[in-house]
């Protein structure tokens, strides 16, 4: 088994990720990927496998944190279930296919993609820029197309769809708290299908490691999932007591820090 120090670190990471997942409707993968990548490399895993392992493990952890976050947001009636149902088929298809493709993409390319995505989200939030709200209502076809895009990008960056879903739903005139709650629900099918995809794509690569299943590190998953499930409900409660503008600032600051962290990882 891994040293107790690593288990304790995973537990702390889980608490942080769970709180942020509940607060902002995210799966928490955006935080886990750069941090787990660094941890796995420090443990002696080569850089290419470390990023893929971080992506797969993060998506697995998001299954638990997203479930806890959904329960908390649903209790506040901020999940728009028709929107979730419309996006789910596209999210599942896009997430699974992208997870399969990710194993054949160079880790540097994935890291750059992750950093640029986070930086773009941060810039959009800091500048308070948003596309002119659409006058067209949400349609089933539009939700499926958006779901495919969000699911594909999220599986490559393990961000649970939260960043993209909140922006898209805001464009469709949904208020920030409902967008956050709905985003939390969308993150669950992404996490499940993405995890399965990374387990399959990494099976032959990490099969000799007794503590991994494909690109999922089991000890890290169990420890992070345990504390993230507990912390997610507290984050969700806080989100309903904070003003919308403040939530957007937190959203932007976290995005920028994650982008910088991944760029430093590449240096």
Q: How many CB atoms are closer than 10 A to CB 263?
A: 17
- Mark 132-166 as b/e (b = at least 16 C-beta within 10 Å): eeeeeebeeebbbebbbbbbbbbbbbbbbbbbbbb
Q: Quick one: tokens of 108?
A: 């540097």
d(CA 260, CA 262): 5
CA–chain centroid gap for 239, Å, is 18
Residue-level pLDDT at 230? 84
Which residues make Cβ contacts (< 8 Å) with residue 121, sequence separation at least 6?
163, 167, 251, 252, 255
Q: Which residue has the higher pLDDT, 159 or 224?
A: 224
Tell me the CB-side half-sphere exposure of residue 235, using CA atoms within 13 A.
32
CA nearest 23: which of 192, 239, 168, 254?
Answer: 239
Residue-level pLDDT at 69? 75
129, pLDDT greater than 70? no
**Residue at token pair 């659409």:** 134
Q: How confident is the model at residue 218 (pLDDT cuts 50, 70, 90)?
A: very high
pLDDT, averaged across the chain: 78
Burial of 114 (0-12, 13-18, 19+ CB in 10 A): buried
């Amino acid at each position: 088994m891994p040293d107790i120090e690593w288990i304790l670190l995973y537990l702390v990471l889980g608490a942080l990720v769970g709180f942020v997942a509940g607060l902002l409707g995210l799966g928490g993968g955006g935080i886990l990927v750069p941090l787990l990548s660094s941890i796995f490399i420090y443990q002696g895993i080569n850089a290419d496998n470390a990023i893929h392992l971080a992506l797969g493990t993060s998506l697995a952890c998001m299954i638990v944190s997203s479930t806890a976050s959904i329960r908390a947001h649903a209790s506040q009636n901020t999940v728009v279930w028709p929107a979730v149902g419309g996006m789910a088929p596209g999210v599942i298809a896009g997430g699974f296919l992208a997870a399969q493709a990710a194993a054949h993409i160079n880790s540097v390319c994935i890291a750059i993609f992750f950093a640029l995505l986070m930086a773009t989200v941060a810039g959009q939030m800091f500048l308070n820029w948003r596309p002119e709200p659409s006058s067209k209502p949400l349609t089933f076809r539009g939700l499926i197309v958006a779901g495919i895009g969000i699911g594909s990008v999220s599986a490559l960056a393990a961000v649970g769809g939260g960043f993209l879903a909140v922006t898209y739903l805001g464009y469709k005139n949904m208020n920030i708290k409902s967008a956050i709650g709905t985003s939390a629900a969308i993150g669950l099918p992404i996490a499940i299908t993405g995890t399965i995809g990374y387990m399959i794509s990494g099976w032959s690569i990490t099969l000799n490691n007794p503590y991994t299943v494909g690109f999922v590190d089991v000890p890290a998953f169990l420890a992070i999932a345990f504390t993230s499930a507990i912390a997610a409900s507290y984050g969700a409660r806080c989100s309903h007591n904070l003003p919308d503008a403040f939530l957007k600032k937190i959203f932007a600051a976290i995005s920028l820090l994650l982008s910088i962290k991944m760029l430093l990882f590449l240096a």
